[in-house]
């Protein structure tokens, strides 16, 4: 590999939301491992959030990453809304809107770095194109778009927005679902404010030199190619699938127990008997939904905390203390059924534990509850993967998604759990060995 140390400088520009901040920080660590200086830019609060929640151990974090705390105007930090019909994290919109003030400081940073580098590579979140557009006027600067959602979902959004039928190579069931509009459209599952913000980025994407995906060709190669074809517009833009960026070095077993008390529950479980379910950092569930999940009757590690606000370290207002049924936590502890964690859980250690069997990270609430919760990629991913037997959950039909509009009643979480029990019994599998872990936030 060519040694580019000292000749190339990289600037990372993330969208200020957890699922976007962490992906570009993981990519920053990957690039910095090659001795390439990386500049990670954002507001002071969001840079702090990215570092505070990083899964990269401090001892192995690259030293060639420099964080730039750029000024933004004061932003509102409203509480998450339970009444929104979109189930979209609209509480983050003030942070998205405030990013427009980053354009000038980022342009200055690009120009100042260009004088001492052979090439300045600007990698920006797909929703931050307008902020980096001035890099196009710097002769030795190149702009690359980073797509934090799956190539499959990008294809779906593109076909939907331009009214294009999926190509023949797409599976018949997926193509028919798209044609039948069986899932909520992007227009129906996002707020007007967010759609306006997203649309404002599109015009600035004409300056790109290429697109980067946090995925791999083994899993999504054909959808990367289909998306490249659908968005080509006569250009020869390059597309790279270089994921997954997640760090894979796991802690030694002997150090797990002292890291977090929830690991004690996993240590008592049989190998490959636990399922890991992630609800994400922005999902908001009602008290009724929380009670239903609590009554599922399965072993679990449940991370239960408030959804992220625009500024997770401030913004005023009182933290919402999520209430479980009275005596629930004491009961599950006494019967060794599970543990409720009200802060951050050691995700890598949970994933690396031999008791952890399956991961349902991108599906979130939809597979469990039959209701579109996030307003983004999740219902499409749920449909794509929800029928897999190893998921332990039924395929979610298009009709289930209409519950968001009050047209249909979804199955309750405990019904899903009981179905799982019956199926395991029918196949001779030890009953009750599923643990649903979700971050209700």
97 is catalytic: no
Tokens 């959804």 sit on residue: 307
Sort 119 into a burial class: Cβ within 10 Å, 0-12 / 13-18 / 19+: middle
Distance (Å, rounded) from C-alpha 247 to C-alpha 384?
25
Of 434, 422, 423, 426, the C-alpha closest to 360 is 434
What span, in angstroms and rounded, lies between the C-alpha atoms of 396 and 411?
10
DSSP-assigned beta bridge partners for residue 239: 211
* Cα distance between residue 350 and residue 275, in whole Å: 10
CA-to-CA separations, 278 to 204, 234, 263, 304, 390, in angstroms, rounded? 33, 40, 17, 11, 16
Nearest-10 crossing angle of helices 151-162, 217-230: 20
**Marked catalytic residue, from 20, 46, 124, 374:** 20
Q: Of residues 64, 97, 125, 378, which has the active-site annotation?
A: 125
According to DSSP, the residues that pair with 119 across neighbouring strands are: 8
**Sheet with 338-341, side-by-side order of all strands:** 338-341, 300-304, 439-440
148: three-class secondary structure by DSSP:
coil
The two tokens of residue 200 are 């404002």
Q: Which two tokens stand for residue 424?
A: 């395991």
Q: Which of 122, 69, 126, 123 is nearest to 96 (CA)?
A: 126
Q: What is the DSSP string of 295-324?
A: TT--BEEEEE-PPP-SSTT-SSSPPP-PPP
395 a catalytic residue = no
Q: Which residues contact 59 (CB under 8 A, 6 or more apart)?
A: none
Q: Which residues have a catalytic role annotated?
A: 20, 125
């Amino acid at each position: 590999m060519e040694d580019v140390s000292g000749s190339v400088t990289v600037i990372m520009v993330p969208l200020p939301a957890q699922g976007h901040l962490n992906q570009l920080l993981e990519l920053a660590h990957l690039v910095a491992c090659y001795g390439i200086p990386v500049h990670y830019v954002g507001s002071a609060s969001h840079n702090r959030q990215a570092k505070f929640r990083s899964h990269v151990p401090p001892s192995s974090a690259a030293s060639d990453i420099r964080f730039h705390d750029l000024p933004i105007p004061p932003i509102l930090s409203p509480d998450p809304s339970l009444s929104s019909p979109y189930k979209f994290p609209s509480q983050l919109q003030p942070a998205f809107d405030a990013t427009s003030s980053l354009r000038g400081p980022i342009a200055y940073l690009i120009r100042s770095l260009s004088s001492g580098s052979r090439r300045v590579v600007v990698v920006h979140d797909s929703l931050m194109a307008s902020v980096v557009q001035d890099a196009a006027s710097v002769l030795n600067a190149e702009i690359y778009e980073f797509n934090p959602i799956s190539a499959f979902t990008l294809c779906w959004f593109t076909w939907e927005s331009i009214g294009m039928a999926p190509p023949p190579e797409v599976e018949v069931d997926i193509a028919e679902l798209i044609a039948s509009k069986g899932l909520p459209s992007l227009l129906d599952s996002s707020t007007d404010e967010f759609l306006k913000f997203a649309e404002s980025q599109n015009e600035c994407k004409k300056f790109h030199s290429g697109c980067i995906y946090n995925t791999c060709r083994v899993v999504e190669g054909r959808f990367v190619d289909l998306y490249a074809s659908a968005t080509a517009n006569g250009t020869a833009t390059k597309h790279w699938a270089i994921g997954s960026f997640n760090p894979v070095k796991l802690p030694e077993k002997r150090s797990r127990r002292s890291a977090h008390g929830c690991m004690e529950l996993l240590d008592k479980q049989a190998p490959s008997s636990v399922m890991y379910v992630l609800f994400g950092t922005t999902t908001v569930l009602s008290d009724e939904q929380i009670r239903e999940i609590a009554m599922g009757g399965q072993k679990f590690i449940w991370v239960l905390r408030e959804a992220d606000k625009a500024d997770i370290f401030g913004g005023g207002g009182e933290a919402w203390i999520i209430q479980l049924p009275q005596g629930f936590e004491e009961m599950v502890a006494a019967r060794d059924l599970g543990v409720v964690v009200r802060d951050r859980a050691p995700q890598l250690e949970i994933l690396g534990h031999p008791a952890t069997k399956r991961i349902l990270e991108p599906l979130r609430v939809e597979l469990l509850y039959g209701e579109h919760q996030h307003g983004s990629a999740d219902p499409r991913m749920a449909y794509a993967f929800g029928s897999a037997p190893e998921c332990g959950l039924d395929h979610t039909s298009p009709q289930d998604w209409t519950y968001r509009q009050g047209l249909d009643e979804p199955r309750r979480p405990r019904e899903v759990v009981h179905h799982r029990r019956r199926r395991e019994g029918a196949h001779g599998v030890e009953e009750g060995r599923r643990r649903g872990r979700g971050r209700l936030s």
